[in-house]
Amino acid sequence: MKRLKKIWDWIDDRSGFTEIFMPLIKHPVPPGSKWSYVFGSATLFCLVLQVITGVALSLLYQPSSSEAYKSLQFITNDAAFGNVLRGIHYFGASGMIIMVSIHMIRVYITAAYKYPREMTWISGVILFFMTIAMGFTGQLLRWDSNGVWSSVVAAEQLGRIPFIGKWAARLLLGGDTIGGHSLSRFYSYHVFIIPAIIFLFVGYHLMLVIRNGISEPAKVGRLVDPKTYRAWYKQMLVEKGIPFWPYAAWRDVIFGALTIISIILLAIFIGPPALTGPPNPASLNANPAPDWYMLSIFSLFALMPPKIESYMIIIGPALTILILLALPFVSNKGERHPLRRPWAVFGSVCVIVFVFSLFLLGERSPWSPAFEAKPLTAKNVHSADTTVIAGSVLFYKKGCLYCHRINDQGGFKGPELSDVSLRLSPADLTIRIVNGGSNMPAYGGILSKKELNTIIAFLNSRKSK
């Protein structure tokens, strides 16, 4: 032991580890920093896990359009613990996004972004969007049909941005169409460019946390005054501060360890998302869906009226980023306690409900035809008329039920037709079916006159019960 201590003393004397890191580890923090403070460190734990598993995957992954899918198959099916490794990386990304989101909500609700921590908030906002970007770029690297077509959808949305749309789409894909160059581009984004930005801002973020201190627990009536806050905070740490390690950090370690264990267990028992088959540009039946953390965004753009979609593609994200970055400058003093900031709490709840609702809608894929729809049941046909029954069968066989809903059956892409006869006359229905619509094919050349009349008879029987 004495020899080991001498070796360590020599290393420490030459390297200065103790002088550099001990002040950081032992820096004082406000008392009362409870479990609500653990989500920032849990995000860092997930980032470290992503780096380790990402490096391990990169040793087996081949970023070429001809070999990428095969290498993912090898990792998933043949490499020792490869499937678990993919699962850890996938659930680690999900965990990182969840933790950083909760951390940001906690900071916002308790107004920890106020003076002097404005730049801490701004760097955190940048890290949040970089985390989302990491998840998005990682999806294409699977090089399966779902990942590739999801990226194509994203590029198409970018292309609709006024003035810079085509340039932004080319920057994303590395060209006018998706191909091997796109895979190389996304690999560079995912492995080099975005991680470099994340490492830079993580270091800056942690430096600001050390420099400005961890925000003290909010207290009703204790206002933040930029003129006196720093002096008050320093005096409070002198009188009541506790060393970060081990008196405050133990919660971070326990929660971070539980987070990592949970991710590993999910990877073992659930595993990564299944590969959906190699990309096939000739396939017209692809039904791409992004990973869950992008699903709400896809749902929002898919469900909004087409006339405003092109404008909202640029206005929505730009306005969101502007609001988040401007927040600490618009409100950098005053109350911090949630009880005195009811609108902040209400707004946070509204955002959570809104995003979660879009997620549920996205899981239901309302913008895509429901190809798994079954023929209408007798209960939903609710008619003994042979023509109506024949019309219901034809309505299903012609694919109408994939997009339109009848009571509790069918898709969500088109208008619900449960009581369509109350809104449209047989003549109106005939015009719609024959001529089609914005997202509906024209059936005039597909249906015979008899078939058309049969479907009209069925739709004309659709009345609310």
pLDDT at residue 371 tops 70: no
Same domain, 163 and 42: yes
Q: Are residues 147 and 229 in the same domain?
A: yes
pLDDT tens profile 302-344: 777 767 766 777 788 889 999 999 999 999 999 999 999 999 9
Query: Quick check: is 51 in a domain?
Result: yes
Which helix (H) or strand (E) element contains residue 51? helix 38-58
How far is 279 from 183, CA to CA, in rounded Å? 12
Q: Residue 427 and residue 429: Cα distance in Å, rounded?
A: 5
Q: Is residue 207 part of a domain?
A: yes
Residue 359 belongs to some domain of the structure = yes
Structure tokens at 72: 């993912």
Do 136 and 213 reside in the same domain of the chain?
yes
For the stretch 126-156, pLDDT in tens is 999 999 999 999 988 988 877 777 787 777 7
Is 10 inside any structural domain? no
Q: Are residues 139 and 288 in the same domain?
A: yes
Looking at the fold, whether 327 and 434 belong to one and the same domain comes out as no
354 and 383 together in one domain: no
What pLDDT was estimated at residue 439? 63
Q: Is residue 16 part of a domain?
A: no
Pick the last residue of a domain from 363, 398, 421: 363
Q: Is 162 left (phi over 0), alpha (psi -120 to 50) or beta?
A: beta
Burial 91-111 (b: 16+ CB within 10 A, else e): bbbbbbbbbbbbbbebbbbbb
Q: Do 180 and 65 form a contact (C-beta atoms < 8 A)?
A: yes
363, 396, 413 - which closes a domain: 363
Do 247 and 351 lie in one domain? The reply is yes
CATH number of the CATH domain containing 407: 1.10.760.10
pLDDT, position 465? 54
pLDDT tens-digit map of 185-212: 999 999 999 999 999 999 999 999 999 9
Number of domains the chain contains: 2
Structural domain that includes position 411: 378-460
Residues 282 and 149 in one domain: yes
Using the 3D structure, point to which of 338, 363, 388 is the last residue of a domain. 363
CB atoms within 10 A of CB 257: 12
